[in-house]
């Protein structure tokens, strides 16, 4: 139970540091250093550090993951595609959390959730392999009942609902429709006994409605925080996001 939210489940913030590495890789420099970003994010209030080792290594690299893993005081949430290379790598690194995500080489960013229904056997085998190493597995899926059902049937204890469609909605009506899909997904996940996280495309003015959904346990946010840090500094960018999320959750619990 959270000190800030004594009447409801805690809401945690996983800081995604991928785009610190994007900036570093743009010039082939050693700065900005994702290790420093991870450690300073923890000091600023991050509850976990999320990083996505893409197959094309466009941002985070193997060496980043290896260096950061033993230094974290919170937990590592390592995102990876369902391939034998990535699952074997995760089993070697042993993050506390492994989030299985879909990947397309040509996408600008993760376009949708993992299709657990279609790739059930492959996903279930990956979940089992990771769980055998003591890693908690999360499946990054769309807020869709069939996907949530399939995710629960793999034995994974956690789902992360993809909020990209909510974040990209261009008008109030479609935003409300996507928000309702997320709310329904959270209810279905909880009904099936899962820990329900959410993330993708969240920023300082759209996070409130998602944070207000009482049963979401954790939000993973990256790109917007790295962008905001350009103007206010990394520590403030992280701590402001956490404060906004927690205020939204407290306000929602107070109104309930």
Ligand X SMILES: NCC(=O)COP(=O)(O)O
**Smallest distance from ligand X to CB 223, Å:** 4
Query: Which position among 130, 140, 154, 185 is part of the footprint of ligand DXP (CB under 6 A)?
Result: 140
Count interface residues toward ligand X (CB under 6 A): 12
Query: In the complex with ligand DXP, which residue's Cβ is closer, 101 or 130?
Result: 101
Minimal distance, residue 223 CB to ligand DXP, in Å? 6
Return the residue of 16, 40, 90, 147 that touches ligand X, per CB under 6 A: 16
CB burial of residue 63 (10 Å; 0-12, 13-18, 19+)? exposed
Retrieve residue 233's tokens: 């500094």
34 binds ligand X (CB under 6 A): no
Identify the CA nearest to 202 among candidates 8, 11, 1, 2.
11
Active-site choice (12, 42, 79, 188):
79
Beta carbon of residue 246, minimum distance to ligand X (angstroms, whole number):
18
For residues 103 and 90, what is the distance between their CA atoms, to the nearest angstrom? 16
Is 52 known to be catalytic?
A: yes
Asked if residue 114 binds ligand X (CB under 6 A), the reply is: no
Q: Structure tokens of 172?
A: 């109030």
Query: Binding residue for ligand X (CB under 6 A) from 94, 136, 181, 223?
Result: 223
Q: Which of 42, 47, 64, 79 binds ligand DXP (CB under 6 A)?
A: 79
Q: How far apart are CA 208 and CA 202, in angstroms?
A: 9
Q: Determine whether the annotation assigns residue 112 to a binding site.
A: no
Among 49, 201, 211, 217, binds ligand X (CB under 6 A): 201
C-alpha to C-alpha distance for 159 and 106, rounded to whole angstroms: 25
Instruction: Write the CA distances from 40 to 14, 60, 248, integer angstroms.
Output: 13, 17, 24
Query: Which of 102, 201 has the CB closer to ligand X?
Result: 201
Within positions 212 to 251, which residues make up the interface with ligand DXP, using CB under 6 A? 222
Task: Tell me the per-residue interface mask from 8 to 37 with ligand DXP, x by CB under 6 A, - otherwise.
Answer: --------x-x-------------------
Torsion sign over Cα 97, 186, 1, 238: positive
Write down the catalytic residue from 162, 178, 200, 218: 200
200 is catalytic: yes
Is 170 tagged catalytic? no
Q: Which of 199, 66, 70, 56 is nearest to 139 (CA)?
A: 199
Tokens 């690194």 correspond to what residue?
93
Q: How far apart are CA 148 and CA 144, in angstroms?
A: 6
Q: DSSP class of residue 70?
A: G
How many residues bind ligand DXP (CB under 6 A)? The answer is 11
Q: Is 16 annotated as a binding residue?
A: yes
Q: State the catalytic residues.
A: 52, 79, 200
């Amino acid at each position: 139970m959270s000190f800030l939210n004594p009447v409801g489940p805690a809401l945690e913030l996983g800081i995604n540091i991928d785009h610190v590495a994007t900036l570093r890789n743009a010039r082939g420099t050693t700065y900005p250093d994702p290790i420093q970003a991870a450690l300073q994010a923890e000091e600023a209030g991050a509850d976990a550090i999320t990083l996505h080792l893409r197959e094309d290594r466009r941002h985070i690299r193997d060496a980043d993951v290896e260096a950061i893993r033993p230094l974290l005081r919170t937990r590592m949430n390592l995102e990876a595609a369902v391939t034998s290379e990535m699952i074997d790598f995760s089993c070697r690194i042993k993050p506390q959390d492994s989030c299985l995500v879909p990947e397309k080489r040509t996408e600008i960013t993760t376009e949708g959730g993992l299709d657990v229904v279609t790739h059930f056997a492959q996903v279930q085998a990956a979940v089992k392999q990771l769980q055998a190493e003591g890693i908690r597995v999360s499946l990054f899926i769309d807020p869709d009942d069939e996907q949530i059902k399939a995710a629960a049937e793999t034995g994974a204890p956690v789902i992360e609902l993809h909020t990209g469609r909510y974040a990209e909605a261009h008008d109030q009506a479609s935003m409300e429709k996507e928000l309702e899909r997320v709310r329904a997904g959270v209810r279905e996940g909880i009904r099936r006994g899962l820990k329900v996280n959410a993330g993708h495309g969240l920023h300082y003015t759209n996070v409130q409605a998602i944070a207000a959904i009482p049963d979401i346990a954790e939000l993973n946010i990256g790109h917007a925080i790295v962008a905001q840090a350009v103007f206010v500094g990394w520590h403030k960018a992280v701590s402001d996001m956490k404060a906004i999320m927690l205020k939204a959750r407290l306000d929602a619990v107070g109104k309930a």
